[in-house]
């Protein structure tokens, strides 16, 4: 998609163009109502904690300390040393249990962080889609209500609307990652189209199948040459 292209969305034709200052302002008002800037910032903040929270770092430090203490009970094969007293064996198992418990706590924190990030990203995507649809409804002015317009949009048209918003330089809630993703989709589509064109060109240049050889013409007496030669051989 590029400036100047003509799209048909929900039955309305629209030529891709930059948005005006008034349209930018209208979009920003809708974005503020849906708190797009705040939601985008929350998603970015969660993305910055992918390396782990402070609690996870403390738990990891505790695990490292416990593993160091456990080493004195282990041999080179990572098994309990032979000859340990029952008391020492119990101490080793207590240390191992503590390590497992702390590891489970870390995994639980990671899962919580992942679920929270997914929920925030979904909230941002839903809010952004709602804003873009409402904005484009005001731009396209279809002969239907906003609710009817939203219901009439196909999944492809929803993607096109977000690409239009990004291409028209609407800022709020449309992150650089969203623009990169749209660019990647476009590149993939272009690659698929180029491959299809190459396949079509290869099929056109292939040699057509050769027609079957024509049957031998009959000889002067009305018989085929093969039959005539067989008769001479018999004579």
Are 62 and 19 in contact by the 8 Å Cβ rule? The answer is no
Q: 53: exposed, middle or buried (C-beta count within 10 Å: 0-12, 13-18, 19+)? A: middle
Distance, CA of 22 to CA of 33 (rounded, Å): 17
Q: What does the alpha-carbon distance between residue 56 and residue 106 come to, in Å, rounded to a whole number?
A: 6
How far, in Å, are 45, 100, 110, 113, 165 from residue 56 at the CA level?
Answer: 17, 14, 8, 11, 39
The band of 231, judged by pLDDT with boundaries at 50, 70 and 90, is very low
> How large is the average pLDDT for residues 104-112?
88
Tokens of 11: 């039955």
The domain ranges of the chain are: 6-197
Q: In the Cβ-directed half-sphere of 181, how many Cα atoms lie within 13 Å?
A: 10
pLDDT per residue as tens digits for the range 122-150: 888 888 889 989 998 988 898 999 999 99
Residue 151 CA, chain-centre distance (Å), reads 24
Q: How confident is the model at residue 76 (pLDDT cuts 50, 70, 90)?
A: confident
Dump pLDDT digits (tens) for 204-225.
Answer: 555 455 555 544 444 444 444 4
Mean pLDDT of the chain: 77
Least confidently predicted of 108-117, 156-165, 201-210: 201-210
Dmax of the chain from CA atoms? 115
Residue 67, pLDDT > 50, answer: yes
pLDDT band at 18 (very low <50, low <70, confident <90, very high): confident
């Amino acid at each position: 998609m590029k400036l100047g292209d003509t799209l048909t969305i929900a039955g309305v034709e629209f030529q891709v163009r930059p948005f005006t200052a008034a349209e930018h302002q209208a979009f920003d008002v809708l974005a503020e109502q849906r708190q797009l800037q705040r939601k985008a910032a929350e998603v970015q903040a969660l993305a910055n904690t992918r390396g782990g929270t402070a609690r996870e770092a403390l738990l990891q430090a505790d695990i490292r300390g416990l593993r160091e203490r456990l080493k004195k009970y282990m041999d080179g094969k990572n098994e309990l040393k032979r000859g340990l007293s029952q008391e020492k064996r119990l101490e080793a198992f207590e240390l191992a249990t503590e390590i497992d418990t702390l590891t489970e706590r870390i995994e639980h924190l990671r899962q919580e962080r992942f679920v929270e990030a997914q929920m925030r990203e979904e909230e941002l995507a839903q809010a952004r889609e709602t804003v873009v649809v409402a904005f484009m409804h005001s731009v396209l002015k279809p002969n239907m209500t906003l609710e009817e317009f939203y219901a009439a949009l196909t999944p492809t048209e929803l993607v096109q609307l977000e690409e239009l918003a990004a291409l028209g330089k609407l800022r709020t809630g449309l992150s650089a990652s969203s623009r990169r993703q749209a660019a990647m989709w476009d590149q993939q589509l272009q690659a698929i189209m180029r491959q299809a064109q190459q396949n079509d060109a290869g099929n056109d240049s292939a040699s057509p199948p050769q027609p079957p050889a024509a049957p031998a013409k009959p000889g002067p007496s009305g018989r085929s040459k093969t039959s005539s030669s067989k008769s001479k051989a018999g004579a």
